[in-house]
Amino acid sequence: MTSKYFKKIKGRLGGKFIHNMKNIIVTACLLCSCAFVANAQFSLGLKAGIISPQEQYKGISVGAGETAYDLAVNDIKFGTQVGAYMRFGRRIYLQPEVNFQTNRTDFIVKSPGTGESLIKRSSYQNLQIPLAIGLKAGPFRFHAGPVANYHLKGNNGLSDIAGFNETFKELTWGWLSGITIGNGRLSADLRFEGNFNKFGDQITFLGENYNFSQRPMSFAFALNYALVK
């Protein structure tokens, strides 16, 4: 009876000890993280700029027979972006961002039977979330990293074509690489941004999928203003 009683107490003490050790380890990790953040340089700012597409996309033939037509990109307009960034670190740094982007694409639709051409305009709104890793060298910051693109809204100018459908993917992934010039409160970003998905891969016609041959890539220019430096 006594032996069982002591084993029971030992078991309870052992469980309590393990629980306390877990709390101590978690607290120590949090304290270390806070100390790292406190010692690391931190910056918070706003940014705004324009996006200029660099690629030209070859046309595609959609459908067959009397319903067939040729679809091509006629013009991709300058896009805009506004957002905010945080930067952690000194020489080597981590910079997450949240950017609201808008862009517009003009498609040209040609009917093989009649030869008639129509211009159809589509506009898109996306939330871009880059996570850049960079290196500071004098007045320059070189950076690169992955980008998550969340589709928010689209106004599809091709929706009046019978059998046509454009289903936007909620999340796509891309990349960026570039340089930031300036160490003061005001700086400028020059970037190349690319996407791992082919342009127009959300297009379906009579249940069949279509996409252009190239993956979207653009050149972005933005001005940054540091609120906290």
H or E element in which residue 7 lies = helix 2-39
How far is Cα 68 from Cα 62, in angstroms, rounded to an integer? 6
Q: Closest by alpha carbon to 149, among 193, 105, 86?
A: 193
Kindly report, residue by residue over 144-162, the tens digit of the pLDDT.
Answer: 999 998 888 877 766 666 6
CB-CB contact of 223 with 47 (8 Å): yes
Q: CA quadruple 197, 199, 204, 210: dihedral positive or negative?
A: negative
Confidence of residue 63 (pLDDT cuts 50, 70, 90): low
Residue 118 C-beta-side C-alpha neighbours within 13 Å: 12
Q: What is the mean pLDDT of residues 12-38?
A: 53
Q: What is the C-alpha end-to-end distance of the chain, expressed in Å?
A: 68
Mean pLDDT of the 197-211 span: 65
DSSP state of 38: H
* pLDDT tens-digit map of 112-130: 666 677 777 778 898 999 9
SS (H, E, C) 42-108: EEEEEEEEEEEECCCCCCEEECCHHHCEEEEEEEECCEEEEEEEEEEECCEEEEEEEEEEEEEEEEE
Does position 27 have pLDDT exceeding 70, yes or no?
no
**Rounded Cα distance, 53 and 74, in Å:** 13
**Where does residue 90 fall: left (phi above 0), alpha (psi -120 to 50 degrees), or beta otherwise?**
alpha
Is the Cβ–Cβ distance between 157 and 179 less than 8 Å?
A: no
Q: Which tokens go with 162?
A: 């019978």
- Looking at mean pLDDT, say which of 63-72, 80-89, 146-155, 213-222 comes out highest: 80-89
Q: Which helix (H) or strand (E) holds 4?
A: helix 2-39
